[in-house]
Structure 1
Amino acid sequence: MLPPDFTLLQVVPELETGGAEQTTIDVARAVIDAGGKALVATRGGRMTARLEADGGRLAQMPVQSKNPLVMLGNAARLVDLIRNEGVSLVHARSRAPAFSALWAAQTTKTPFVATYHGVYKAGSGLKRWYNAVMTRGDLVIANSDYTRDHVLAEHHLDPDKVVAIPRGIDLDRFNPSWITPDRLSELRDSWGIAPDDPRTRFLLAGRLTRLKGHMTIIEAAARLKAQARNDFQILFVGDDQGRTGYGEELAKAVSDAGLADRISIVGHCDDMPAAYLLADIAILPTTVPESFGRAAVEPQAMGRPVIASNHGGTTETVAEGVTGWLVPPENAEAWAKAMERAIDIGAAKRTEMGLTGMNRTRQLYRVDAMCAATLAAYERVLDARRLTGKRP
């Protein structure tokens, strides 16, 4: 049980959108519900309102910066914050902010935890040293078994120092029963989808970045078009977060392939539960392994089968042939065949797979279970510090 005066400080680059950001909000709310205080040091972003609505507090600072001088300034700001607010534990969720957070935690002798939200590449000793900042605290949390295995292999840590806590999904928010017809109608209208459009609809959710595999899907769609198939529509849901070049490249690729009537780039969506329900199948064609792959789990919670790249955390979250399909990454031919299969099995079979995925998600990926495991990890660290003064 957390002490009654427990104050958590999470440090994350920004609160715009993404799995690390959502988990930050979820854990902050869990700490508040448990009677503690929750602070988040971040540059800010559109999810700040949700944090504050839950009772959390924002400490705005440029923790996203990799400039050494800015990082030193952030460390000083964090030291002041830790002392002024009586912070009990610091939890870093990204590498650049982790340096400032670790320095501040060490200066104030505050327990430090870091979550590996991604599988970071290390092409050199310097990069491996940079990545290892996430392992220099009291405990490392990995967001999947896949990520935990990577951390152990990469950094040669004591296995007891690395705990896997799968990312959780808010099953109250991602619940088909709560989606009203008005929400679906509003989203359909904003995306220009006719209510009687009979085509099978695929949805790719994620920020517009090359790693998400949009180009693979454009090529796969071109292959389906070449087969004279007109029975599908693809939605790219997500924004470029100010990096416009790739979005423009996608739009040009769609136009050049003559797919404007089949692929729509619809931008950011604040109502992803309704978005998944508006689709028939979710796709996650990432070109590099996702450490967890929230965009493969959330649609399953909404009763939608998933086609995902066959690597990383999605090999744990998508049950091949049961809740979806796993496809080789960057293989447009394989993706075209998988999408064709998903169309041709029909709505009844897709519904059956979706219900199986929904039940599996509710068993394995509940946000309350993730938060409970995270708070238990905090308790473990605090107990170890209090009883022995050593890391667990």
Structure 2
Amino acid sequence: MSDVTILQVVPRLETGGSEQSTVEIAAALTQAGAKALVATEAGALATALEDAGGEIIELPVASKNPLTILANARHLARIVERRNVTLLHARSRAPAWSAYLAARKTQRPFVTTYHGAYSGRSRLKTFYNSVMARGDRVIANSRFTAGLITSQYPVPPEHLHVIYRGFDVSAFDADNVAPKRLDRLREVWGISPEQRVVLQAARLTRWKGHPYTIEAARLLKDRDQLGDAVFVFAGDTQGREDYRAELQAEIDAAGLTGVVRLVGHCDDIPAAFTLADLAVVASTRAETFGRTSIESQAAGCPVIVSDVGAASENVVPQSDLDAFTGWVVPTADAHALADCLGEALTLSPQALAEIGQRARSNARERFALHDMQRATLAVYDELLGTGLAATFCPAKQL
């Protein structure tokens, strides 16, 4: 496959989902014997990209200035011709316009990936967003995202592919989480081994729904259903100190001081979910993927998610009694969340472990990194008539 050269275009190589996917696809292309080029303004993941076998071509593709977008298109077209690029793949709107124009000028296939939802409150914004639907193939990171795309743009069903974000599920396997990592978290969080842990791993921002979890905990306390459970909010404030103070005031007013704990950033999420008995995703705004609901399952931690965005499609709901891996509750409904938590906290350790085992299998079967890589290469194959997906060997991954 040495005659295949794929040019990915991403604004910057920082630590985000689209950027990490760029690195992972570069690694897959290299393993399949193809060349992986990335036009970007570089960033924190530049070294990881090069270690994966990719080559960085620095361009100011993060700019939304129309003149810069046009200049980037001309640069990309020259790169396509000079490097014999066979396909362009864009992951964000501004660079997608440059890549789209270059692809059309050079008559190369063009692929886009939706990593998020784009609001179009004006005709101009809707037009600007439309470039992500102009790919010869369009990849959506969830069924929810695919639904948003088809509700706004006439993308033929055969051109739209749902490919879930993949990650290394083995990092969340209990066998790979040393006991000392769990002991360290217990010490930092001030939790004894006997206490049950309900974990909400999310940055401290209002739409993550922390107030509803606090109110649910208060309801459980009033019903005498709380027992020894401790609620842990693990996440950065990202400068929102006023919001953190507001949450602490709500905790204190509800008589939950010491029961609901704001522990700040957690640098060991696999250990956190391995330690937890239950996970909560209480978001009030739609997320197009919902990684937390998958990471918790990968660690064998049953999860409760609010019914908004893609999170609910990541779990097997309770309606499927023999297979369910998590609960889905109405959005912004503290009473429903309290009812669900009360039910889950009364389950025996064995029953929770059985749900957790199914959750772990669900994560492995649907969200493994190598599956995402192979599915993306298959999209390239569909347009190029190549065999990248068949050649790709995930066993060679570093």
What TM-score results when the alignment is normalised by the length of structure 1? Answer: 0.84
Give 1:124's aligned residue. 122
Structure with bigger gyration radius:
2
Q: Which moved more, 1:135-144 or 1:167-176?
A: 167-176
Deviations 1:350-387 (A, max 9, x none): 11100011122222222222211110101112239xxx
Give 2:10's aligned residue. 12
Q: 2:251 aligns with which of 229, 253, 257?
A: 257
Distance in 2, Cα, partners of 1:47 & 1:206: 22
CA contact (8 A) 1:218 1:254 kept: no
Cα shift at 1:225? 4.6
Q: 1:24 aligns with which of 22, 25, 30?
A: 22
Deviations 1:109-165 (A, max 9, x none): 332100122233333333322221101121101122332233223212221121222
Cα shift at 1:62? 4.7
Distance in 2, Cα, partners of 1:218 & 1:72: 50
1:303/1:105 CA distance change after superposition, 3 Å: same
1:244 aligns with 2:239: yes
Q: Which moved more, 1:300-309 or 1:104-113?
A: 104-113
CA contact (8 A) 2:172 2:274 kept: no
Distance in 2, Cα, partners of 1:263 & 1:136: 46
Cα shift at 1:34? 0.8
Give 1:87's aligned residue. 85
Correspondence list, 1:137-152, <5 A: 137-152=135-150
1:331/1:84 CA distance change after superposition, 3 Å: farther
1:339/1:81 CA distance change after superposition, 3 Å: farther
Matched residue type, 1:364? R
1:283/1:182 CA distance change after superposition, 3 Å: same
Matched residue type, 2:232? L
Aligned length: 376
Distance in 2, Cα, partners of 1:126 & 1:48: 33
1:299 aligns with 2:293: no
Distance in 1, Cα, partners of 2:60 & 2:351: 49
Matched residue type, 2:239? T
SS in 2 for 1:163: strand
Give 1:202's aligned residue. 198
1:45/1:295 CA distance change after superposition, 3 Å: farther
Cα shift at 1:74? 4.3
1:76/1:235 CA distance change after superposition, 3 Å: farther
1:184/1:157 CA distance change after superposition, 3 Å: same
Cα shift at 1:202? 2.4
CA RMSD between the two structures: 2.8
Distance in 1, Cα, partners of 2:63 & 2:186: 38
1:216 aligns with 2:212: yes
1:42/1:343 CA distance change after superposition, 3 Å: farther
5+ residue gaps, structure 1, are: 385-392
1:339/1:369 CA distance change after superposition, 3 Å: same
Cα shift at 1:177? 1.9
1:278 aligns with 2:275: yes
SS in 2 for 1:381: helix
Matched residue type, 2:197? R
1:288 aligns with 2:290: no
Cα shift at 1:278? 2.1
Matched residue type, 1:253? L
Q: 1:173 aligns with which of 171, 174, 182?
A: 171
Distance in 2, Cα, partners of 1:25 & 1:157: 27
Q: Which moved more, 1:169-178 or 1:367-376?
A: 169-178
Give 1:387's aligned residue. none
Give 1:389's aligned residue. none
CA contact (8 A) 1:202 1:235 kept: yes
Correspondence list, 1:103-118, <5 A: 103-118=101-116
Q: 1:379 aligns with which of 378, 381, 384?
A: 381
1:231/1:94 CA distance change after superposition, 3 Å: farther
Give 2:361's aligned residue. 359
Matched residue type, 1:266? G
Distance in 2, Cα, partners of 1:239 & 1:67: 32
Distance in 2, Cα, partners of 1:306 & 1:66: 39
Give 1:318's aligned residue. 315
Deviations 1:142-197 (A, max 9, x none): 122332233223212221121222222323333222222233334444x3334x24
CA contact (8 A) 1:169 1:365 kept: yes
Matched residue type, 1:158? P
Q: Which moved more, 1:292-301 or 1:252-261?
A: 252-261
Identity rate of aligned residues, in percent? 41
Distance in 2, Cα, partners of 1:332 & 1:70: 48
Matched residue type, 2:384? L
Distance in 2, Cα, partners of 1:348 & 1:66: 54
